[in-house]
């Protein structure tokens, strides 16, 4: 028969061992560096902000966040790598609108699907803009639309290819304004920008951030932005909405996602760290200056945001019946 003293010793030993067992089963995250895959080349806005955010988040987590650029095939190369990574919180993706909202609608075969990812945190949004050469006689959006209607199929806009956001926003503009513009594809953002700077095309539709310096120098004119309200960094530029086109709202966005089934504790900790970094004076001021600040969202709200963005682009893409390849 076991004595009370014997039972007491057994209970004490059990109590002493239990915390060690629990800690062994649930290790503290992170215990090593975290990789953030950026599916774009170095130097662009997404890459620069990824590095700024990574530095701040790494300081909070006590482990470095290593940025790895994996450009190619309309962000597909980088996205595929992360989609198939272990869901342990050590491999993340700086996703973009292209990655998770337009690619699934454009390509019949993708090596990933949106369900392969868990939303972590939205980093920023950039409204699209209608940009024209300084030589274009239209002083404002209404004059541009009137000129386009008077010269159907004569006005042109540069894109970086069929299905690119620069093309899709142009199609959104055409549908909203009932105009006929011809898209001229170029091999990359640099030649598309050069085309509008030289006046080779009459317009382009792209993220506002890239064109603000050229507009401020007088080389280009920004006639409208596709945002819900005016952008503080360019508050003299009217929105398409206030100009009478309520459905012409389009943003480029970028944010962090993780492989599906990443533990909620890891996702929530990352979300808190990223959101805190976005509210630091350095990053907050940088995002506002670049017209790329967005709302601070929880992982759940970020997921809702992405689904709404997919629905918006589906309305634009479906009628076009595009046949594009990565």
Mean pLDDT for the stretch of residues 24-44: 86
Q: And the tokens for 151?
A: 């010269």
CATH number, position 292: 3.40.190.150
Go through 165-187 and write b for each residue having 16 or more CB atoms within 10 A of its CB, e for each that does not.
bbbbbbbbbbbbbebebebeebe
Percent of the chain residues topping a pLDDT of 90: 82
Residues 134 and 113 in one domain: no
Strands 65-69 and 117-133, sheet pairing? unpaired
- The residues near 84 (Cβ < 8 Å, ≥ 6 apart) are 112, 116, 259
Residues 214 and 311 in one domain: no
Residues 146 and 185 in one domain: yes
**Which of these ranges, 108-112, 224-228, 242-246, 286-290, has the smallest mean pLDDT?**
286-290
Mean pLDDT of the chain: 91
Residues 82 and 137 in one domain: no
CA distance 212 to 237: 11
Q: Is the pLDDT of residue 256 over 60?
A: yes
Does 308 map to a domain? yes
CATH number, position 178: 3.40.190.10
Residues 114 and 148 in one domain: no
Mean pLDDT for the stretch of residues 44-66: 94
Mean pLDDT for the stretch of residues 68-97: 96
Residues 182 and 279 in one domain: no
| Boundary residue ending a domain (184, 202, 234) | 234
Tens digit of pLDDT for each residue in 263-293?
999 999 999 999 999 999 999 998 998 888 8
Q: Is the pLDDT of residue 6 over 80?
A: no
| Boundary residue ending a domain (166, 201, 234) | 234
* Band (5; pLDDT cuts 50, 70, 90): low
Whether residue 240 contacts residue 248, with contact meaning beta carbons closer than 8 Å, is answered with: yes
Residues 148 and 108 in one domain: no
In the chain, the number of structural domains is 2
- Structural domain boundaries, residue 208: 127-234
Residues 163 and 96 in one domain: no
CA distance 278 to 294: 9
Mean pLDDT for the stretch of residues 256-261: 98
Strands 182-185 and 156-159, sheet pairing? parallel
* Band (9; pLDDT cuts 50, 70, 90): low
Tens digit of pLDDT for each residue in 101-113?
999 999 989 999 9
Residues 145 and 166 in one domain: yes
Whether residue 36 contacts residue 66, with contact meaning beta carbons closer than 8 Å, is answered with: yes
Output the pLDDT for position 12. 47
Mean pLDDT for the stretch of residues 311-324: 91
Mean pLDDT for the stretch of residues 295-321: 95
Output the pLDDT for position 188. 84
Q: Is the pLDDT of residue 164 over 80?
A: yes
Mean pLDDT for the stretch of residues 6-26: 45
């Amino acid at each position: 028969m076991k004595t009370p003293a014997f039972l007491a010793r057994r209970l004490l030993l059990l109590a002493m061992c239990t915390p060690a067992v629990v800690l062994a089963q649930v290790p503290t995250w992170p215990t090593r560096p975290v990789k953030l895959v950026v599916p774009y080349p170095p130097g662009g806005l997404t890459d620069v902000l990824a590095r700024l955010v990574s530095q701040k988040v790494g300081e909070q987590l006590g482990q470095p966040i290593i940025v790895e650029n994996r450009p190619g095939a309309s962000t597909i190369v980088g996205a595929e790598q992360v989609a198939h990574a272990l869901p342990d919180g050590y491999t993340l993706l700086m996703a973009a609108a292209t990655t998770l909202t337009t690619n699934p609608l454009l390509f019949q075969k993708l090596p990933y699907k949106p369900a392969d990812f868990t939303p972590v945190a939205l980093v920023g949004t950039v409204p699209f803009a209608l940009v024209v050469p300084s030589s274009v006689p239209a002083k404002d959006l209404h004059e541009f639309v009137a000129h386009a209607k008077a010269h159907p199929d004569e006005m042109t806009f540069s894109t970086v290819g069929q299905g690119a956001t620069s093309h899709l926003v142009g199609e959104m503009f055409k549908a909203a304004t009932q105009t006929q513009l011809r898209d001229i594809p170029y091999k990359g953002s640099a030649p598309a920008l050069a085309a509008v700077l030289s006046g080779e095309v009459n317009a382009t539709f792209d993220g506002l951030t890239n064109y603000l310096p050229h507009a401020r120098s007088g080389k280009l004119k920004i006639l409208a932005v596709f945002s819900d309200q005016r952008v503080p960094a360019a508050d003299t530029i009217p929105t398409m909405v206030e100009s009478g086109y309520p459905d012409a709202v389009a943003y480029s966005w970028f944010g962090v996602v993780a492989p599906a089934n990443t533990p909620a504790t890891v996702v929530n900790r990352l979300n808190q760290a990223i959101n805190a970094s976005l509210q630091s004076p350095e990053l907050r001021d940088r995002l506002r200056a670049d017209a790329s600040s967005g709302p601070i969202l929880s992982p759940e709200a970020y997921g809702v945001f992405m689904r709404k963005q997919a629905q918006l682009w589906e309305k634009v893409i479906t009628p076009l019946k595009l046949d594009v390849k990565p």
